[in-house]
Amino acid sequence: MYYKSEIEGVVRVNPHLFGKNLKKSILKQLKETYEGKINETLGVIIFIEKIIDIKEGVLIPGDGGAYYKTRFIAMHYIPEINELVEGEIRDIAKFGAFIDFGPLEGMVHLSQTMDDFVSVSKQGTLQGKSSKKSLKQGDKVRARIIAVSLKDPENPKIGLTMRQPALGKLEWLQEEAEKEKKAAKAAGGSK
């Protein structure tokens, strides 16, 4: 889920930025420090919108920089259990597929890709044995988040499933909707 929050933090301003516009210097440091980074509490910081308040700076002996307590508004994304996400298959592995969705990537295990026995073909696609459905790199899909761990910011883990109704490859969902529409039209026309 995307959020817009007021955040308080301490920012170190490098000495080479002294004498320049303080607010611009702090905004530059906030962007470098936070944007695109993962935080266990805030998820992924998408962007810093604006600075609300800057307290007086503090100098620490032995460190040439100045530290400023700052309040700012940030847009961030926190993946939540049961959240629906749409994305693109980035890579296929022996154990499943990696899906890019917005600012993060999740993994869907083979057993969670479809209601079928799934194998990996020599061409690097996931193939359903009975349904003959396939998933390949670049396919657009809808999935549900079933597990989240942001404890290691360098290696976040997000587990996904596509085995529930209205989930899977977007082409499959379109085909299913068209079949239902035709069936409803046929049922309505026979009365």
User: CA-based angle 80:82:86, to the nearest 5?
Assistant: 85
Neighbours of 68 (CB within 10 A): 22
CA Rg value for the chain: 23
Q: Mean pLDDT over all residues of the chain?
A: 91
**5 vs 16, residue with greater confidence:** 5
Mapped onto helix, strand or coil, the DSSP state of residue 125 is coil
Contact (CB, 8 A) for 162 and 168: yes
CATH fold, domain 2-77, is Dna Ligase; domain 1 (3.30.1490)
Q: Region 110-129: what's the mean pLDDT?
A: 90
Q: What is the pLDDT of residues 133-185, one digit of tens each?
A: 999 999 999 999 999 998 888 889 999 999 998 999 999 999 888 888 888 88
Strands 96-101 and 84-93: antiparallel
d(CA 72, CA 126): 45
Q: What is the pLDDT of residues 24-53, one digit of tens each?
A: 999 999 999 899 999 888 999 999 999 999
Among the CATH numbers 3.40.50.300, 2.40.50.140, 2.70.240.10, 2.40.30.10, which is that of 84-173? 2.40.50.140
Give domain limits for the chain. Answer: 2-77, 84-173
pLDDT at 59 over 90: no
Q: What is the pLDDT of residues 74-108, one digit of tens each?
A: 999 999 999 999 999 999 999 999 999 989 999 99
| pLDDT value at residue 189 | 60
Neighbours of 110 (CB within 10 A): 17
| pLDDT value at residue 71 | 96
- The encoded tokens of residue 71 equal 């309040």
pLDDT at 191 over 70: no
| pLDDT value at residue 81 | 96
pLDDT band at 190; cut points 50, 70, 90 = low
